Structure 1
């Protein structure tokens, strides 16, 4: 059976903290996701617990009458618990060296394991079409897992929101930015 997983990066937000809300533009983008996915049958929606992620998918969940499942494993990756002036350089390093860790943060490998475990659970159940809402770095690491050449430059080109479709058929996966 073919399975589809729509991986969505949250809409434009006011900031990075867990409770940061969507901007006015982000709220409009969330409504746009409803139109964008109007013709898609969706069986399940799983979201990061961060407010901006949940707010990004609430209009779609309401329109499709689907309960949002919140999963901590979809939370934003913590690169470091300390403010890093060179955070982009460190992030770029983490795409090359998946085991690299910075003060109090998690490695790319650890973050990748989190999101991949969510996808593997989705593939193990009967649902055909699932939406996963997360954050740019975590989304990039999921895409890198299935497409190893996805890296820092591709992360920089992500938008808010952004949508990738992962189609699984037997042992094959295709990835398409939609």
Structure 2
């Protein structure tokens, strides 16, 4: 089976006390609108999402195009779900950026528990899928990194760059293990990514 791990599109920033579950920004809505065409070559049979709004809103255009409902799995939430606010990476402090570049989650987050939660959620999605099925999972950069780290045994938990609306493909072998087929495909939103707008 094939698993498409899609990072949420660009969300709004939230302020302290507003929680870490913002809606998509106008740019993020445009990014999400491109996903049905970008994923049309894949025979998606299920759409699964993190419970956070930015992931659900990113998956909705694909679900609507396919006439599917979005299944919510709490275990696919990002590590920041209980923080007081959400800050897009482009606005992160130097200290937060350095921590991320060093491959670490915030100090208050139990990395082992986060990894166990995410892998259990993905394992169940995979176990419920048929051999020929493709499942699209809308989630977060930390979640996608956790899966790549788990499969590839990377040194750092945060091991790959995952852009907004980027697509990472995992394949399940006949022997039952997951392998990484591709990471962070962004051709469909290249011109809408904040880092590319600077060039």
Q: Indicate the TM-score class for this superposition, using the shorter chain for normalisation.
A: 0.7 to 0.9
Return 5+ residue gaps in structure 2 as ranges: 86-91, 186-199
Aligned pair count?
Answer: 169
Whole-angstrom CA distance in 2 between matches of 1:109 and 1:144: 12
Q: Helix, strand or coil: the match of 1:57?
A: helix
Q: 2:118 aligned to 110, 115, 119, which one?
A: 115
TM-score (norm 2): 0.74
Q: Is the Cα–Cα contact under 8 Å of residues 20 and 80 in structure 2 kept in the other structure?
A: no
> What's the counterpart of residue 3 of structure 2?
5
Quote the Cα distance in structure 2 between the aligned partners of 1:50 and 1:80.
11
Question: Residue 167 of structure 2 corresponds to which residue in structure 1?
Answer: 163
Distance 1:77 1:66, change over 3 A: same
Unaligned runs of 5+ in 1: none
CA–CA distance in structure 2, aligned partners of residues 162 and 126 of structure 1: 22
CA distance in 1, matches of 2:21, 2:81: 18
What is the alpha-carbon root mean square deviation over aligned residues?
2.7
Helix, strand or coil: the match of 1:43? strand
- 1:1-178 to structure 2, matched below 5 A, reads 3-15=1-13, 17-78=19-80, 81=83, 86-91=95-100, 95=104, 102=107, 105-127=108-130, 128-149=133-154, 151=156, 154-155=159-160, 157-169=161-173, 170-175=175-180, 176-177=182-183, 178=185
TM-score, normalised on structure 1?
0.81
Partners of 1:140 and 1:119 in 2: CA distance: 13
